[in-house]
Amino acid sequence: MDLFEAIKKRHSYRGGFEDKPVPRAHLRQIVQAGLDAPSGCNAQTPRFVIVDDPALVRTLAGMHDRNKAMQQARAFIACIIDKEPPAVYQGMSFQIEDCAAAVENMLLAITALGYGSVWVDGWLRIDGRAEIIGNMLGLPAGKCLRVLLPIGLPCEEIKPPAKKPFDQRAWFNAWEQGQ
Amino acid sequence: MDLFEAIKKRHSYRGGFEDKPVPRAHLRQIVQAGLDAPSGCNAQTPRFVIVDDPALVRTLAGMHDRNKAMQQARAFIACIIDKEPPAVYQGMSFQIEDCAAAVENMLLAITALGYGSVWVDGWLRIDGRAEIIGNMLGLPAGKCLRVLLPIGLPCEEIKPPAKKPFDQRAWFNAWEQGQ
């Protein structure tokens, strides 16, 4: 799929999924897109655990009470960062940015391959969910789950959200000035 | 350009640029890719100031003493966030992630259109550079410059950095286990 088409077609999907598995070749291709993302000082901070074991998928899926994409996911990608942000440049860490860039690459890859997903982040930070899932995945003490991507073949329409137009968010040469 | 080709070809570029302007149609297309990126709760937090005024471009370019892509940039995209992170979900803010996802979309668009760039972040946070440039761009008091993307047509080879292989960063179903 053309890059700009993938960017336009990528939308958060919270609907149901068809009862079809996601082949490992596709899961690897999606995660490779995440590995290819940029990272501050090329530190390549994010790590990924791909969940496709049916029992583990069912356990994760059962944790959400509302989001159908989570409840019916056929696979998950768990994005892992450090609990203590690693300084890579003048005392600064870029692991949040590294992880987000990798997630965006993976969401575009998911779109291009015909799957649907949604960036699950804040929900993990409530009621110790990130830690519970991190324990299921065998994360070592210094690592934590930051983002979870449920994946499957959408069986509902993927609807674009309302977005502000260009001239409300971007200008030439000065804030809120040139168009 | 195919999505996966753009992802593979995107590398940080710190070399020189040809003495050719970047047309506004391309700058708009690149920034639109950033606007199309996902954001936590669809809050669409990042804003963008596109710098292509020749005098302003020269001033920004003159601030860096080493990075040729900054020194010879023909245009810049300044990515703006809030100084006080806005809570959008259960007291959490996702503006760093929103901005990073938008930057990654723009870097892919830059690659697909044949330009080069590099994600400039930490350098801005030293010696008050983000504030100095923010003032030049007329940012209001609550906003700050987070990321700067220099853009131009590369006149040197874009070399990929060394990257860890898949099995050192990604596993199936358990940390450092299945391949």
Domains and CATH numbers, chain A: 3-157 (3.40.109.10)
- Look at residue B39 and give its three-state secondary structure: coil
- For tokens 């005098």, name the residue: B55
CA-nearest of B112, B26, B121 to B75 is B26
CB under 8 Å to B33, separation ≥6 — which residues? A4, A7, B105, B106, B108, B109
Pair of tokens at residue B111: 């690659």
Cβ contacts of A96 on chain B, cutoff 8 Å: 96-97, 100
pLDDT at A178: 76
Q: Residue B169 gets which letter from DSSP?
A: T
pLDDT at B178: 76
Q: For residues A153 and A18, is the Cβ–Cβ distance under 8 A?
A: yes
The reported pTM is 0.98
Task: Give the rounded percent of residues in chain A with a pLDDT score beyond 90.
Answer: 98
For A166, the closest of B32, B94, B174 (CB atoms) is B32
pLDDT at A63: 96
A105/B100 Cβ within 8 A: no
Q: For residues B152 and B22, is the Cβ–Cβ distance under 8 A?
A: yes
Q: Where are the alpha helices (DSSP H) in chain A?
A: 3-9, 24-35, 54-61, 68-71, 95-112, 129-136
pLDDT tens, position by position, B47-72: 999 999 999 999 999 999 899 999 99
Q: Where are the alpha helices (DSSP H) in B48-93?
A: 54-61, 68-71
Cβ contacts of B172 on chain A, cutoff 8 Å: 24, 49-53
In angstroms, the CA A133 to CA A139 distance is 9
- The C-alpha of A123 sits at a distance from chain B's nearest C-alpha, in angstroms, of 9
B109/A139 Cβ within 8 A: no
In angstroms, the CA A86 to CA A95 distance is 7
Q: For residues B119 and B60, is the Cβ–Cβ distance under 8 A?
A: no
The yes/no answer to whether this complex scores an ipTM above 0.90 is: yes
In angstroms, the CA B21 to CA B76 distance is 11
pLDDT tens, position by position, B162-174: 999 999 999 999 9
Q: Find the residue in A nearest to B136 (Cα).
A: A174
B80/A7 Cβ within 8 A: no
* Residue B2 Cα distances to A123, B9, B113, angstroms: 33, 11, 12
A97/B175 Cβ within 8 A: no
A112/B3 Cβ within 8 A: yes
pLDDT string in tens for chain A (179-residue length): 999 999 999 999 999 999 999 999 999 999 999 999 999 999 999 999 999 999 999 999 999 989 999 999 999 999 999 999 999 999 999 999 999 999 999 999 999 999 999 999 999 999 999 999 999 999 999 999 999 999 999 999 999 999 999 999 999 999 998 77
Handedness of CA B109, B115, B116, B121 (dihedral sign): negative
B140/A166 Cβ within 8 A: no
CA-nearest of A53, A12, A51 to A154 is A12
pLDDT string in tens for chain B (179-residue length): 999 999 999 999 999 999 999 999 999 999 999 999 999 999 999 999 999 999 999 999 999 989 999 999 999 999 999 999 999 999 999 999 999 999 999 999 999 999 999 999 999 999 999 999 999 999 999 999 999 999 999 999 999 999 999 999 999 999 998 77
